[in-house]
Amino acid sequence: MDRTLDEADASEYDALVLSGGVINPDQLRTNEKAISFVRDFFKQHKPVAAICHGPQILISAGAVNGRKMTSVKSVSIDLKNAGAIWEDSEVVTDNGLVTSRKPKDLHAFNAKIVEEIKEGRHEDQYI
């Protein structure tokens, strides 16, 4: 990272990647600046990717209802309760939204992120 949330503007980036872990997503999901930043990527139809516990941030941003997604098993119930269509796959893509389960899936996750960035804006990306 080279900017704080106060300095960052989604229009200056091609995509957003939300990493996993237990603590960071839990802290970011209650940070209104972080949630607003995430929403801006969806509003600008840019690719968004999340792995492991990262989708928790997307739940707080209101970006999962009706979306096909995956995550670590412990977040699956939260995603389903928020309206996501959860599946147990190494990587799931839904109109520019890329999700993966765990570090073991990083190869497929990274390859799919690159593909989505190459495709550019996804007009069907929504929030």
What are the tens digits of pLDDT across the range 50-99? 999 999 999 999 999 999 999 999 999 999 999 999 999 999 999 999 99
In a domain, 10, yes or no: no
In a domain, 67, yes or no: yes
Instruction: Note the helical H segments in 11-103.
Output: 23-28, 32-43, 55-60, 73-81
In a domain, 46, yes or no: yes
In a domain, 8, yes or no: no
* Rounded distance between C-alpha atoms, residue 59 and residue 45, angstroms: 17
* Rounded distance between C-alpha atoms, residue 64 and residue 1, angstroms: 25
In a domain, 4, yes or no: no
Q: Is the pLDDT higher at 69 or at 22? A: 69
In a domain, 3, yes or no: no
Work out how many domains the chain is built from and give that number. 1
In a domain, 6, yes or no: no
Instruction: Note the helical H segments in the chain.
Output: 23-28, 32-43, 55-60, 73-81, 106-119
> Can you give the CATH number for the domain in which 59 is found?
3.40.50.880
Range of the domain at 75: 17-119
What pLDDT sits at residue 34?
Answer: 95
What are the catalytic residues? 52
In a domain, 41, yes or no: yes
Average pLDDT for residues 37-42, to the nearest whole number?
97
